[in-house]
Amino acid sequence: MKVAVTMGDPAGIGPEIVAKAVLKLKHDANNLVIVGNRKIFIETANFLGLDVNALANLEIADIESGTIEKGKPSRRSGKEALESIEKSVELCQTGATQAICTAPISKEAIRMAGSPYIDHTEMLGHMTSTSKVVTMFQTRNLRIVFATKHMPITQAIRNISMELIQEYISLADMSLKLLGLQRRRIAVAALNPHAGEDGLLGKEEIEVISPAIRKASVNFDVSGPYPADSVFYRASLGEFDVVVSLYHDQGHIAAKMLDFHGTVSMNLGLPFLRTSVDHGTAFDIAGRGIAREDSMVAAIKLALENADIYSKNFQSLARK
């Protein structure tokens, strides 16, 4: 079982955290294929004082590149990031690898390079013709799926409907199936403080969220809506297997407060598992050798641990 590991935007901390993570996981190096510019990877490892000889057998799918200026987005760095993603998908589609783990990219840089997509999720969905791609965070025992993602909070609130809630309850259940969970207890977070306090603090729970949960409970083990200030904590203790977060920061804050450096982002529903760090390119510290690789290590480990079961479950669900 092999995992393609992209270096992300080469102007950011991607090459650094990948080099550090791969060395830390050197006993698994034979199961990894680094996707990115070979020269940048070797230069980064040497700059960090890493034992490159320990990675002598590491497989690198080389992406050609010119000079990249560290610490700022550019068309060239965005182009390399895009080509790395395309190459990693190709490796999975040909069976050379079974999962992808991605270092961070810059939305600005990939737009400068001509990408019409805002993030990995949209790109991977388009490249694989997958209409429904779920983003899940995993932090220790806490799993979170996001009903809305990269949009203004006002738009996220407008988008919340019975249909959306029911859809993401179903997608949360599917995601847990793909990861091999037999018990799939789903909790839905409330939108308003105190779950609306019986309508005193908002009526979305009464008019939209609760009816959607009741309807979905016929087919799924789902409950809620639970106040957002407690449901993520309860899930982290094992009371629920996943929480449906209604907007971006609601779930992100919960995961990163629990373990900022250990949170892993996953895309589920694709023909292969994709994991990623939960942070950005950190252009402000790129090239300084001080970036932490914890999230990259966790993301690679999660991909290695779950790639096989994910692949088998995806094929099983696809046949149904």
Average pLDDT over residues 98-127: 92
Higher-confidence residue: 144 or 195? 144
Least confident among 91-100, 113-122, 228-237: 113-122
- pLDDT band at 65, cuts 50/70/90? confident
Buried b (16+ CB within 10 A) or exposed e, 272-290: bbbbbbbbebbbebbbeee
Share of the chain above pLDDT 70, in %: 99
Q: Pairing state of beta strands 186-189 and 242-245?
A: parallel
Cis status, amide bond into 116, omega within 30 of 0: no
pLDDT of residue 320: 65
Residues 6+ apart with CB under 8 A from 115: 78, 82, 123
Length of the chain: 320
Cβ within 8 Å of residue 25, ≥6 positions away: 32, 297, 300, 301
**Does the pLDDT value for residue 219 go beyond 90?**
yes
pLDDT, tens digit (0-9, with 9 covering 90-100), for 269-288:
999 999 999 889 999 999 99
| Rounded-to-integer distance, Cα 164 and Cα 282, Å | 33
Please state, as a whole number, how many other Cβ atoms lie within 10 Å of the Cβ of residue 71. Answer: 15
Q: Band of the pLDDT at 55, cuts 50, 70, 90?
A: confident
Provide the pLDDT for residue 186: 98
Average pLDDT over residues 74-78: 93
Residues 298-303 have a mean pLDDT of 96
The distance of Cα 74 from the centroid of its chain, to the nearest Å, equals 23
7-34 pLDDT per residue, tens? 999 999 999 999 999 989 988 888 999 9
pLDDT in tens, 136-193: 999 999 999 999 988 899 999 999 999 999 999 999 999 999 999 999 999 999 999 9
pLDDT at 299: 96
Looking at residue 17, its pLDDT comes to 96
Question: Which domains are present in the chain?
Answer: 1-133+269-320 (3.40.718.10), 141-259 (3.40.718.10)
**Average pLDDT in the chain:** 93
